[in-house]
Structure 1
Amino acid sequence: MKLYGITGWKNAGKTGLMERLVAEFTARGHTVSTLKHAHHSFDVDHPGRDSHRHREAGAQQVLLSSGTRWALMSELRGAPEPPMEELLAKLAPVDLVLVEGWKRDSHPKVEAWRPEPGNPLIAPGDPTIRAVAAGGPVELTDRPVFDLNDTAAIADFMAGEVGL
């Protein structure tokens, strides 16, 4: 599987760019999966539902299935968060996995950046960031800079990098 990341600070436009890139690559006929890192606790389950009750009772994993989708929930129960490689191994094979987050891992990335939040660019100090998708003017000369909304150009760049 090919792997490419989208990284950046909060409110930089990462999720919107991810959404547009998934649509762009799938429109080009590629199969795509995503991996999203969250810095906070999250839940895809709902209190009172059977699957939630199973987890609350102490189940290590709960697999929920229907005629339209299935989901496997695993509780860490105090164990450390698995590394990205371990999580990727759980995905079914696809042409491209787009990763949102995981700033410090070594996979290639495009940095989403907007001037409004006031955060500095990550790219100057991070060689894994191969390009910047900017929502404003950027002074960066050693890597390509794309308009944050030019999804096709960003997808072309990423596809060229991974050989799609």
Structure 2
Amino acid sequence: MKTLHIVGYKNSGKTTLLERWIGYVKAKGLTVAVLKHHGHGGQIELPSASTDTSRFFDKGADVTLVAGGGSAQLLLNNEPSFEALKALVTYDSPDVLLIEGYKEERGEKVVLIRKDEDWGPLQELEGIQLIIGEVDSSDYPVIRERSDAVQLDSWFADWLNREGHYETI
């Protein structure tokens, strides 16, 4: 399984890039899982309070899973470790795991820079494969325009085809 973290600060374009590359992976006939860190503080948005799932959750169920109509939704009343979350999201052995955030965890990373001061702390991260944004770096490949679809997809295609960077869960 190929695994890549997309990291950067709020509003740097992480979700937009993930959407693009999810579509790219699917167009190649591969399977993809996504793990996202909710870094905005507070709880994540839950389903409507009137659903059975929310009612079970509100009463204290530790785990609630609802399935039907070709999809399933899992709610946990705690936050598992990063490794446990990866195991959950990759239960079906996808070809590619894309991770939004979790910048301090081990793994290959694409770093999105929205303004100069972002680069200072982010350049200390391990596993940087690509920088997207206005940064002068001779240590890593840089794509200056986050809207340059040709360059973004070309780099991602090369990364997908690169040998020796697979992870097992």
Same fold (TM over 0.5): yes
- Aligned pairs for 1:97-108 (under 5 A) are 97-108=97-108
Deviation, 1:48, is 1.8
Number of residues paired by the alignment?
155
User: Is 1:63–2:60 an aligned residue pair?
Assistant: no
- Which residue of structure 1 aligns with residue 10 of structure 2? 10
Structure 1: which amino acid aligns with 2:50? Answer: G
Identify the residue that residue 82 of structure 2 maps to in structure 1.
Answer: 84
* Aligned residue number for residue 44 of structure 1: 46
Structure 1 residue 154 displacement after superposition: 3.0
CA contact (8 A) 1:5 1:109 kept: yes
SS of aligned partner of 1:20: helix
Query: Distance in 2 between the 1:29 and 1:58 partners?
Result: 40
Equivalent residue, structure 1, for 2:153: 152
Q: For residues 61-90 of structure 1, what are the alpha-carbon distances to aligned partners after superposition, in whole Å with 9 as ceiling and x for unaligned?
A: 1111121311111111xxxx3222111111
- Verify the 8 A CA contact 2:46 2:54 in the aligned structure 1: no
Structure 1 vs Structure 2 CA RMSD: 1.8
What residue number does 1:27 align with?
27
| Alpha-carbon distance between aligned partners in 1 of 2:87 and 2:123, rounded to the nearest angstrom | 31
What letter corresponds to residue 104 of structure 2 in structure 1? R
Q: Distance in 2 between matches of 1:101 and 1:109?
A: 9
Is the Cα contact below 8 Å between 1:2 and 1:97 reproduced in 2? yes
Unmatched runs of 5 consecutive residues or more in structure 1 = none
Q: 2:139 aligns with which of 138, 142, 146?
A: 142
In structure 2, give the amino acid aligned to 1:148. R
Deviation per CA, 1:86-138: give whole Å up to 9, x if none: 111112211000000001001111001223xx54214422232221122xx32
- Aligned partner of 2:128 in structure 1 is 129
Q: Secondary structure at the match of 2:123?
A: helix
Quote the Cα distance in structure 1 between the aligned partners of 2:122 and 2:129: 8
- Following the alignment from structure 1 to structure 2, what is the Cα–Cα distance between the partners of residues 37 and 129? 18
CA distance in 2, matches of 1:44, 1:34: 18
Q: Given residue 31 of structure 2, which amino acid in structure 1 is its aligned partner? A: T
